[in-house]
Each structure stands twice: as structure tokens, then as C-alpha cells.
A and B are shown apart, each in its own frame.
Chain A
Amino acid sequence: GNSVTQMEGPVTLSEEAFLTINCTYTATGYPSLFWYVQYPGEGLQLLLKATKADDKGSNKGFEATYRKETTSFHLEKGSVQVSDSAVYFCALKSGGYQKVTFGTGTKLQVIP
């Protein structure tokens, strides 16, 4: 079946530091990959997506590249801000299955 593994948190960074949150997956077929973000007290918001190998999704300074050879979709940002503090979820959706499969989430805390 499908599964998503992402790095354990919490991750604590100083403002303007470089962020990487690792995500790897196993899936049947050719999945689409997503990063969702959950700010404190809010729901899940789609941050970015990539639908085929070597695609790069990007939004709000965040990027992730769909790497089929390593089955990875790591999230990166060059310079984090305090407002980026949230829980980040890697997720996938594979054709033929309607559900989204989520990772466990990685809490990011950015300190001034």
C-alpha cells in the first residue's frame, strides 16, 4: 500500500536559516505528491504539489522536487521566517485511490 515517511520533529531554526524537511514515499503506480501546512489553530492548507517525476512545486519561497529515483519529495526554503512556524505534512495521492495518504507531520519552530 501507499505510505509516507517524514523526518521527526520538532525542528527549531533561527530566522533566515535554511530549511529542509525530508520526505520519502512508497506508492503503487505514479503518485502525485503534496506538501500541506497547518498553522496553529487552523486547518490543512495546500502548500505545493508536483504531479510527475522531476517536477518542482513551489509556493511562498518553499520548494520541493519530485525525485522518482530516490522516491523523495523533500521540502526546502532558503530563509525561514517566524511566520513559517507550523506543522508540515508530506502527502501523496495515487491514481485509482481517492484518499490522500499523509506523513506524520513535522513541527517547525522558527525563533527570532
Chain B
Amino acid sequence: EPEVTQTPSHQVTQMGQEVILRCVPISNHLYFYWYRQILGQKVEFLVSFYNNEISEKSEIFDDQFSVERPDGSNFTLKIRSTKLEDSAMYFCASSELDTSNQPQHFGDGTRLSIL
């Protein structure tokens, strides 16, 4: 079964540094998402992306965050200047359509640790 893949599985970064998290969505999917889960808390929506544009974002997704689809397969999340509170598990997801009955398929996540 096709999978969403994320790299790296664990990223350790110094506070203030830039970090890029990478995702390869399922190949025929058109909608892409990022979520995060701070340890012991809910999975929270960050951003959705379709047709090379952000289609929805949460209040968490401020100017420090950006997303990009640099080629036909990768989808990236960049944090420009990381803060301690950015430490979390970041999940990428994709879906074929964006109707309410279409589930989103998630990757295994990247654990981001900010020192």
C-alpha cells in the first residue's frame, strides 16, 4: 500500500537555526498537510496546501513557518528561526481529494528537538 514518507525521523537543532522537514506524499494525491503534536498534547493542524498554494493555515503557522513543493514529489516544511517551543512531532499527510469523507494519510512523523 502506498505510504507517506518523512525524513529525517529525528532532527536535533540549536535554537535560532533554520530547519527543513521533508515529506514525500502518496503519488496521486493532490492535497498536502502538516500537523504537529507537542509531547503529551493533541495533534494540531498547521497548514494545508493545494495547487502550489496554501489553502488554509492555523494561528500556529506564523511567519516563521513556510511550506513548499519544490518538485513533483517532495513537500517541505521550513521553520526559519526555531524556538524551544517548536519541539514536537511533525506529521505530514496527504489526500487524493479534499471532500469531508476523504481520509488523510499520515507519515510516521519527524521528531524535532530544539536545544
Contacts and interface: CB of A to CB of B under 8 A. Distances in A.
Answer yes or no: are A and B bound together in one complex.
yes
A104 B58 CA distance: 18
A111 interface: no
Contacts, number: 65
Interface in A9-44: 29-32, 34, 36, 42-44
Contacts of A49: 101, 103
B56 interface: yes
Contacts of A82: none
B106 A98 contact: no
A99 B56 contact: yes
A51 interface: yes
A43 B107 contact: yes
Given A44-B91, A98-B33, A102-B43, A51 B107 contact: no
Given A98-B56, A99-B48, A43 B109 contact: yes
Interface string B85-115: 0000001010000111111111111000000
Interface string B38-67: 000111110010000001101000000000
| Top 9 A-B residue pairs of the complex, sorted by shortest distance between their CB atoms | A43-B108, A99-B45, A51-B101, A44-B106, A95-B100, A102-B43, A98-B48, A32-B101, A32-B100
6 contacts: A36-B106, A43-B106, A44-B93, A98-B48, A99-B33, A100-B43
Given A98-B98, A104-B42, A105-B43, 12 more contacts: A43-B4, A43-B91, A44-B106, A46-B106, A51-B101, A93-B100, A97-B56, A98-B55, A99-B33, A100-B45, A102-B42, A102-B43
